[in-house]
Amino acid sequence: MRVAEFTLPRAAGDTEDAQLVVYYFGGQGGSVDANIQRWLGQIEQPDGKPTSAVAKKESRTVNGLHVTLVDATGTYVAQTAPGATDRHHQPHFRLRAGVVQTANGPYFLKLTGPQATVTKWNDAVDRFIASLRFVP
């Protein structure tokens, strides 16, 4: 399922690196909206508001590919592994994620890490997304 995984070295003062993972489920993986909602459910807001109310969402075309992106900060509370009952509890995290629609089905991008570290890599991640191409 993991096509690629990249470690983005931590920013000064952060205790861990960020992780950017590219997933492909053989053309499966659920709808764009279902994935966006699931990802946003992995971030809690300190004031209890739903993350979907404060997240940045965007759609764009990149080299002929439709890309839907979401960006949110808060406490990261995703499962520690698929199906696990244990959850992360990492405040001040940032999630940048997206769905890239290709002729062979969707690819999924998910970047998580300390807010300062993810912010440090913003420009590089934006260039990565702008460089996406699909070669069947």
pLDDT, position 81 = 77
pLDDT in tens, 15-73: 999 999 999 999 999 899 999 999 999 999 999 999 999 999 999 999 999 999 999 99
In this structure, is residue 53 part of a structural domain?
yes
Query: How many whole angstroms separate alpha carbon 23 and alpha carbon 89?
Result: 23
Q: Does residue 115 lie within any of the structural domains?
A: no
| Mean per-residue pLDDT over the chain, rounded | 95
- The answer to whether the CB of 8 falls within 8 A of the CB of 106 is no
In a domain, 66, yes or no: yes
Would you place residue 136 in the very low, low, confident or very high pLDDT band (cuts 50, 70, 90)? confident
Residue 86 has pLDDT above 90, yes or no: no
What residues have CB less than 8 Å from 90, skipping those under 6 apart?
A: 75, 76, 114
Our count of domains for the chain comes to 1
Domain that holds residue 56: 31-104
Q: What is the pTM of this model?
A: 0.93
Report how far apart, in Å, the C-alpha atoms of 1 and of each of 26, 60, 69, 106 are. 8, 24, 20, 12
pLDDT at 87: 84
* 7 domain-assigned: no
* Per-residue pLDDT at 39: 96
Asked whether residue 98 is domain-assigned, the answer is yes
Give me the pLDDT at residue 79, please. Answer: 81
Helix or strand holding residue 62 (H, E): strand 56-62
Domain membership of residue 13 (yes or no) is: no
Asked if the structure places residue 24 within a domain, the reply is no
List all residues 6 or more positions away from 7 whose beta carbon is below 8 Å from its beta carbon: 17, 18, 19
Q: Answer whether residue 18 is part of any domain.
A: no
